[in-house]
A and B are shown apart, each in its own frame.
Chain A
Amino acid sequence: MGQILLQVEDLHTQFFTSRGVVRAVDGVSLHIEAGETLGVVGESGCGKTITALSVLRLVPEPGRITSGKILFRGRDVTKMDDDEIRDFRGNDVAMIFQDPMTSLNPVTKIGFQIEEAMTAHKRFSAGLAKGRVVELLKRVRVPAAETRVKDYPHQFSGGMRQRAMIAMGLANEPALLIADEPTTALDVTVQAQIIQLMKQLNRELGTAMMLITHNMALVASLCQRVVVMYAGRVVEEGPVEQIFDSPQHPYTWSLLRSVPRVDEARKDRLVSIRGLPPDLVNSPAGCKFHPRCPFVVDRCKVEEPPLAEVAPDQVARCWVLMRNARQEDVDAAKTSALSVEAAQTLKAQAKVGGVAGS
């Protein structure tokens, strides 16, 4: 076990809207060790991005961290003053976003933007920073780096822009890089190049990485450990191979079976999770996942399960657990809720008098 770099404890981040309090992050605890790659997965609105933004204290209005601790090398980020937090961002932790075009300044040369990231944090002198820009672009494998430093963002392709963003993130040699859907906007061959690059950087520089994504394949490719989030909570956590091999939370299980695999011929229907993610103003009582869960029992509706150890290094928040699920429920979930739903609509429609045309 390596040294613990980041420790988030019982984090609550809430948004105070006219509709009420949105509990975007609702008691999240997680940690990252030095040099480790952690995947944080879940669907839109599960709180994965807000967790990352909370770590950097960049939660947008009307949101606020309402309680919890964020310890980075033992120092509490939530208690840092303005100077300390500025020093922390960039020097200790850097973040790269999904869309590199909106995160780069369109009227400033790429080279200068990377240089600015260094001079702003005073880690490197102005002279040294200039020299490092080309070196950084080379490190992220931008071809002809010497001439491309003078280009503007629009002269870079999508993949090259993401490389430039990664170069900027690495400029101050942070111990942790947070990447929020870094390849989602890219074409597959470019995506492969960026994944390759992130793997190499993690190996070469020992930068720890927190990868936020909805893409399970990306987690399988890049991460050692994974945290699965649902409705602002961690529902399962563990080593990647263990979680993919034997997920214990029904949400994790469904997520893994809802995506087709490119290396396999079509077999079953995809597992689709019925219904929609809950409203975070009025989330359901008991387990947050129970209204959508194919394995729900009575207890799930009234009492929320704790995050409990289910195997060495693996925790899950579920009363049932996949290993105890009844086989007929598993089979029913595989044929998916929608086929039943569709069959009903088709039947109902036949009653109305068939699909009448012109």
Chain B
Amino acid sequence: MQAAEKAPAIAVKPEAVLLRVENAFKYFPVSGLGGLAVRAVDGVDLEIRRGETLGLVGESGCGKSTLARLITALLPVTAGKITFDGQDITKLRGRRLRRIRQKMQMIFQDPYASLDPRMTVGDILQEPLDNFGIGSVGHRRRRVQELLRLVGLNPNFTNRYPHEFSGGQRQRIGIARALALNPSFIVCDEAVSALDVSIQAQIINLLQDLQKEFQLTYLFIAHDLAVVRHLSDRIAVMYLGKVVETADRNDIYERPQHPYTKALLSSIPVPDPKVERERAPITLKGEIPSPVNPPSGCRFHTRCPIARAPGVCSEQEPALEAHGAADQVAACHFAGQA
């Protein structure tokens, strides 16, 4: 199913890794296509270290949101192993799964869709505490006010409904809800994408403050690579169900090893007219192939500017191996040669 995996370049102490994804697959069967499936996540290896922010980037349909749902045990894996704090969460059921879920929370893109319009903000924030039976009723009420204050909202807003808040305030409520159970790990899935720039900056700063205060580990998923670079310690790039490159945030931007990473980075306009006049984006030909039937060999070869196809690139799938900087891995036969 996939090329042999190699050891990462830097041996990170096992206790430093909070979450490890090993050869994870998620296939969604397509009815009426005779056993065909959308290969949303197609053999992913990834580690998230304690206290870091790992940025996950890639274009629509590359599988990043599905991967987030596997990691938070909201979807079962088709195959593979995901360990959180040393426990394989793909095997957990019932109460033990609930206990793990308490430690991992999610913040979603659309603060309009992810809050129940018929619940007051107080109820929304108290619900997780009720579900897990945390503290006395009085304690829960105090905790709700504390959470509101923590995300910069007026603690007396508990009786208001989501529609009474602006988009940025609603995203703060989403963040407060994620914090309610004292998680150690939060997945932010396009958490700032729907917000206006000045509000986006407020939320980004808030996420950074909260991380420092509570030693949180973030998986930050976004398509805005500038925001990802600003927030992340390390960055993983996905293409068509696979991680194609992972590295330190500055290494990946300064010395991308995979031609897809390079193209992705060169596509982003910079808010500086002088830079823009000189910038020559690498334009990729064509579009992302169907995840039902990904290309043979390296799945990027159909759009790759340096691919040797027919040849090694169309025949052999490259493994994620050390290239470039110390903590950098890339899955490309000609890594760094673009």
Does residue A59 face the partner (Cβ distance < 8 Å to B)?
A: no
* Interface contact B135-A273, CB-CB below 8 Å: no
Q: Give the chain B neighbours of A193 by CB distance below 8 A.
A: 283
B13 to chain A, nearest CB (A): 25
> When A195-B269, A336-B205, A339-B209 are in contact, do A358 and B135 touch as well, CB less than 8 Å?
yes
Which of B166, B223, B266, B281 is most buried by chain A, counting CB atoms within 10 A of its CB?
B281
The stretch of A67-75, A76-84, A253-261 that contacts the partner chain: A253-261
Interface residues of A (CB under 8 A from B): 43-44, 157-160, 187-193, 195-196, 214-221, 240-241, 244, 254-256, 258-263, 265-266, 269-273, 276, 336, 338-339, 341-342, 345-346, 348-349, 352, 355-358
A238 to chain B, nearest CB (A): 12
Does residue B75 face the partner (Cβ distance < 8 Å to A)?
A: no
Q: Give the chain B neighbours of A263 by CB distance below 8 A.
A: 253, 270, 275
* Interface contact B197-A43, CB-CB below 8 Å: yes
A101 to chain B, nearest CB (A): 13
Q: Give the chain A neighbours of B279 by CB distance below 8 A.
A: 221
Q: Give the chain A neighbours of B146 by CB distance below 8 A.
A: 349, 352, 355
Give the B interface residue count (CB, 8 A): 60
A268 to chain B, nearest CB (A): 10
Q: Give the chain A neighbours of B135 by CB distance below 8 A.
A: 356, 358
Contact partner of A244 among B132, B151, B272, CB < 8 A? B272
Q: How far is the CA of A276 from the CA of B150 in the complex (A)?
A: 18
Q: Give the chain B neighbours of A244 by CB distance below 8 A.
A: 271-273
> When A216-B271, A262-B229, A356-B139 are in contact, do A44 and B206 touch as well, CB less than 8 Å?
no
Interface residues of B (CB under 8 A from A): 59-60, 132, 134-135, 139, 142-143, 145-146, 149-152, 166, 168, 181-182, 196-202, 204-206, 208-209, 213-214, 223, 225-227, 229-230, 249-250, 253, 263-276, 279, 281, 283-284, 287
The dominant DSSP class at the B interface is: helix
A20 to chain B, nearest CB (A): 18
> When A276-B166, A349-B149 are in contact, do A266 and B182 touch as well, CB less than 8 Å?
no
Contact partner of B209 among A43, A342, A356, CB < 8 A? A342
Interchain Cβ contacts under 8 Å between A and B, 29 examples: A187-B60, A187-B223, A188-B225, A189-B59, A189-B267, A192-B267, A193-B283, A216-B197, A221-B276, A263-B275, A265-B250, A266-B229, A270-B201, A270-B205, A272-B201, A273-B202, A276-B168, A336-B205, A338-B206, A339-B205, A342-B206, A345-B149, A345-B152, A349-B146, A349-B149, A352-B145, A356-B135, A357-B181, A358-B132
